[in-house]
Amino acid sequence: MSKSRHVSATPATDLLRRQRVAFTEHVYDYVDHGGARESARQLGRDPHEVVKTLVMEDEKAQPLIVLMHGDCEVSTKNLARQAGRKRIQPCTPEVAQRHSGYQVGGTSPFGTRRAMPVFVEASILDMPDILLNGGRRGYLIGIDPKVLTELLKATPVTVKLEDD
């Protein structure tokens, strides 16, 4: 795939390059509200391998990032309990953008404007590789999930909502 400068130069990829982290680049046509399922469909991948970056906040309005499989939802109740918080809820798009520095739909856990604690669904760390946002809508990067704990110091949690 050709690397066009305007796509691959983001705070996320700049950080990864400075840290000498290997990653692959995957460009797709961004669709409003398409999410991980749409990017997975376009790239011919399983939505479970596409990890979404969710910006949430606790009861004190302190932000945090949760990384979840693209085909799963987060139990905010379980996340609050495992993170030692009273309550956790998703941020509004405007607040998420203010904390992360990224446009919603293009949020990467790497190179955020503000340092935030990162939590990762534990089963993501068992995968051979994952795709996650590279810091721009329509742009995913493929990385080894170990980078999440090594570089981001992500805390593994078990917070995916189970089907009834």
Question: What are the extents of the domains in the chain?
Answer: 24-157
Helix H or strand E encompassing 36 = helix 35-43
The SS3 assignment for 108 reads: coil
Q: What is the rounded distance in angstroms from the CA atom of residue 49 to the CA atom of residue 84?
A: 28
Tracing tokens 């991980």 back to the chain, one arrives at: 36
pLDDT tens digit string along 19-60? 999 999 999 999 998 999 999 999 999 999 999 999 999 999
Q: What is the pTM of this model?
A: 0.93
Whether 15 contacts 25, CB under 8 Å: no
Could you give the 3-state DSSP secondary structure of residue 64? strand
CATH superfamily of 24-157: YbaK/aminoacyl-tRNA synthetase-associated domain (3.90.960.10)
How far the first Cα of the chain sits from its last, in Å, is 41
